[in-house]
Amino acid sequence: MSIEKQTIKSERLGESYYKIKHPSGLNILVWEMPEFSSVYALFGTKYGSINTKFKTKNDQDFIEVPEGIAHFLEHKLFENEDCDVFELYAKTGASGNAYTSFDQTAYLFSCTENYEESLKILLDFVQAPYFTKETVDKEQGIIGQEIRMCEDTPYRQVFFNLLRCLYVNHPVKIEIAGTVESIAKIDADLLYSCYNTFYNLNNMALAIAGNVKLDDVLAICDEHLKVKENPELVTAFPDEPEEVNKEIFVQKMPVGTPLFAIGYKSVPFDGKERIKKELEASILLNLICGSTSTLYKELYDEGLINSNFYTEVDSGDGFFASMFSGESKSPQEVYNRIKGEIERIKSEGIDSDLFEIIKKAEYGKLISGLNSAEKCATLMFESDLLTGVDAFENIEALASITEKDIMDCIDILFDNKKTAISIVESNT
Amino acid sequence: MSNSKKREQISDGVYITTIHDKKFNVNTIGIRFISKVDEKKASAYSLVTRVLQTSNSKYTTRTKLTKELARLYGAGISQSVFRLGDCQAFYLGANCVCDRYALDNEHITNSVTEILLDCIFSPNLENGIFNENDFEIIKRELIDNINNKINDKRGYAIDKALETVFHNEPAGVPLDGTVEVLEKLTCADAFKEYKEMLKSSRIEITVSGGGDFDETVRLIKSRFDGLEREFTSSEFVSISPVKETTADINEKFDVLQCKMVLAFKTHIKDPEQLKLFSLMFGGLPSSKLFMNVREKLSLCYYCASNIISEKGVMLIDSGVENSNIKKAKDEILKQLAEMAKGNFSDDELNNAKTAVCGSMRSYNDSVSGLAAWWLTQLCVWNRDFSPEDAIEKYKSITREDIIEAAKSYKLDTVYIMSSDDKGGAE
């Protein structure tokens, strides 16, 4: 088979990897790290909890499926017709796992020997679904317990409650595993329907990093990838207003100090622009209330936050939110002070020295993010699958960000009219 | 293996281990104060290391220190506490990217090391003790953190189980101490304990990563040179006695899912034999517990075994429905009995060996993994034992060794957290 091979290089870091457009439609990403013993591989699809409405060229209308089905499918794919995938990995010594997020499902393994055999197992089982009524029923119990565990976890509740405040219609507000009620509606036919739609090599990526050789990986891919017709998938999301759903939500459950999550909703971005906006949002979160900021010091000294305070950016198809989270006896006061600081920065501008320091810290964070086969493989995989850009784009985007860029986007990313707070406090 | 390891004693009970491998792009400098502690010392040392982490005489506030570390390409200084057998280790460490990534030729690693050493040896003082205001803020935060442990139900359940498992033993002293002791601890008391911690703890320093460490090691040695020491060594490995009657602890919480922790004890002191057994029993997705309690009976999302080999303890923890507690517990005991009867295949044994040997090899790919490995081997087990040596040892373990391990475990403690104060029984 003829292949299209590209070397993706970062002069800045002195690192490189290969990107191959395989004739089967699959993007294959290979990072050779001969000095490492480990190998880490991810094979997955651009299909996550938010993809509940879709159609292919064979469908007239959009199909809507129960919440939590992408995650359910991930669990079920580990069961082959004749055996459990973990039994196969047990023989090669690989450690296998999988995860489902808002917009992707990834199957992975790590190992230090026999990676070729483990790669064959990975490619084979992900391409060989096997669902029956019995195996689906059995999984309801296991996933039911996973859902219960999440419902008892206040950190997770405070996060999803915030998403439900920020988003009116977008499915990012639903729990990744769904609910005990929604997964009860899942059956083998629905699983096959979702599988056949999203598990098409044109909608997937394979990333492998560590002690591997490009030619060996490609030879295995040539032999094990099954070419299927491209179903020309179209996903759809409900219209999402720019405004938030509600500004506050309080849940009561057994916790110590109340937990809070404060979010700012923005219009979504795609491709390179998404990478850049994620970095700009991250820099702004740090300028507003990162551990080097004046506001952080004030809140900390006043006992309004503690060192468990953190910031994050969550973005994907149709959503983009910047968040401040932590523990506080007065979450509302923290919220008001953050809103005030945003207005202050908008009128007075940013601290140039702090901007440069934060950029340096972000640069260091990106370098530390290339410190293992796992991190390198994950970066290649997610960059390609989710944004369609190369893995080093983030470091180039970071270098290009100016103070002006930051001031230009603060109104879009941190609008005090498009914000919400979620609080989890003790029920006793 | 491309890494090199060097170890030397630099003072009474002070050791420095350097692990270098140029493939790494980060460096970690870790300093552990290791001591057999009671509740008072555990509380004080935990608080002291938190105070030291946040400032020093040069960077007198948390913000100034954090800003300087951010300028050094997002370096960090972290603090933690963990158990090593009957001792606790109070950790202060620094991490940074290697100097080769500096945009303006800064000496990142040595600058970060100096900051860490200043935090330890030259704290921000006021009237000869820690800054009172900072101390009170950090003390309040530690108390909150202890009260917030309930936020992580799985971790909380294990902590509570261990208090009973190690009742009246040094290993039973809670990490971070207790709220009662902390409430009474003054800034002057804490400063006295800080001096004591420097003087009497065993100190284990690791410098690991991809950098060139000659200068870093010299810097560290120079600061430990004049340190007054009065050190008596502690035993790390001491087998915990099994209770005559199994302890049953039930705690009532408003939870949707029960947490169950079963603690078993053994007299066997061989860490590899215990580890391999634990992997076969409940440490792998192909293990007895995963395949039966989760996959076959569909009772839980997790049911895993972990060992504390220095104490001869194995913990099984699981999250299950109230009504399934007894069923899950019975199945775990049944699977242990099956292992003791030798009802496992050679494939199961060989697969566990393959898995553990793979994880041993992967230590060489992790800066923090290598540092942790050598700390455990050199300090706790007092042996110069590489991951490669461990591989040889694992390969030699027989079926009889596994049966012996299974037979040796006796149920010591059952901890259940549920919304029903009878522990969800029946």
| The pLDDT of residue A411 | 97
Start-end of H helices in B266-380: 271-278, 288-289, 325-340, 346-362, 367-374
Which of A11, A32, A74, A425 is flagged as catalytic?
Answer: A74
Q: What is the pLDDT along chain B (426 residues), one digit of tens a residue?
A: 578 899 999 999 999 999 999 999 999 999 999 999 999 999 999 999 999 999 999 999 999 999 999 999 999 999 999 999 999 999 999 999 999 999 999 999 999 999 999 999 999 999 999 999 999 999 999 999 999 998 899 999 999 999 999 999 999 999 999 999 999 999 999 999 999 999 999 999 999 999 989 999 999 999 998 899 999 888 899 999 999 999 999 999 888 889 999 999 999 999 999 999 999 999 998 899 999 988 888 888 889 999 999 999 999 999 998 889 999 999 999 999 999 999 999 999 999 999 999 999 999 999 999 999 999 999 999 999 999 999 999 999 999 999 999 999 999 999 999 987 554 443
Q: Are A219 and A94 in contact (CB under 8 A)?
A: no
For the entire predicted model, the pTM comes to 0.92
Nearest by CB: A253 against B254, B359, B364: B254
Q: So where are chain B's domains?
A: 4-225, 247-418
Name the residue facing B137 among A141, A145, A303 (closest C-beta).
A303
User: What confidence score (pLDDT) does residue A327 get?
Assistant: 95
* Distance of residue A93 Cα from the nearest chain B Cα, in angstroms: 5
**Mind listing the pLDDT tens digit for each residue in A177-189?**
999 999 999 999 9
User: For position A2, what pLDDT does the model report?
Assistant: 60
What pLDDT does B296 receive? 87
Q: Same topology for domains B4-225 and B247-418, yes or no?
A: yes
Measured between alpha carbons, how far is A333 from B418 in angstroms, rounded to an integer?
34
Which of B67, B257, B286 shows the shortest C-beta gap to A152? B257
Which pLDDT score, from 0 to 100, does residue B426 have? 39
Which among B24, B59, B63, B176 is the top mutation candidate for probing chain A, defined by the most A β-carbons within 10 Å of its own β-carbon? B63
Mean of pLDDT values over A94-100: 95
pLDDT at B394: 98
If you classify domain B247-418 with CATH, what class do you get? alpha beta
- All residues of chain A having their beta carbon less than 8 Å from the beta carbon of residue B300 are 142, 145
> Lowest-confidence range among A26-30, A96-100, A357-361, B222-226?
B222-226
Residue count of chain A:
428
- CB-hemisphere CA count at 13 Å for A300? 23
What is the set of domains in chain A, with CATH numbers? Answer: 4-235 (3.30.830.10), 248-425 (3.30.830.10)
Taking CA atoms, B408 is separated from B169, B242, B313, B336, B338, in Å, by 21, 11, 11, 10, 13
Quote the percentage of chain A above a pLDDT of 70. Answer: 100
The sign of the CA dihedral B229, B232, B235, B241 is: negative
Cβ distance of A94 and B300 shorter than 8 Å: no
Kindly indicate the confidence band of residue A4, based on its pLDDT and cuts at 50, 70 and 90: confident
Going by pLDDT thresholds of 50, 70 and 90, the confidence category of residue A80 is: confident
Query: What pLDDT band is residue A427 in, cutting at 50, 70 and 90?
Result: confident
- Per-residue model confidence (pLDDT) at position B422: 55
Architecture, CATH, for domain B4-225: 2-Layer Sandwich (3.30)
Question: CA-CA distance, B306 to A194, in Å (whole number)?
Answer: 37
Instruction: For A135-187, write each residue's pLDDT tens digit.
Output: 899 888 889 888 988 888 999 999 999 999 999 999 999 999 999 999 999 99
pLDDT for res A75: 93
- Number of C-beta neighbours around residue A149 at 10 A: 21
pLDDT tens digits for B52-94?
Answer: 999 999 999 999 999 999 999 999 999 999 999 999 999 999 9
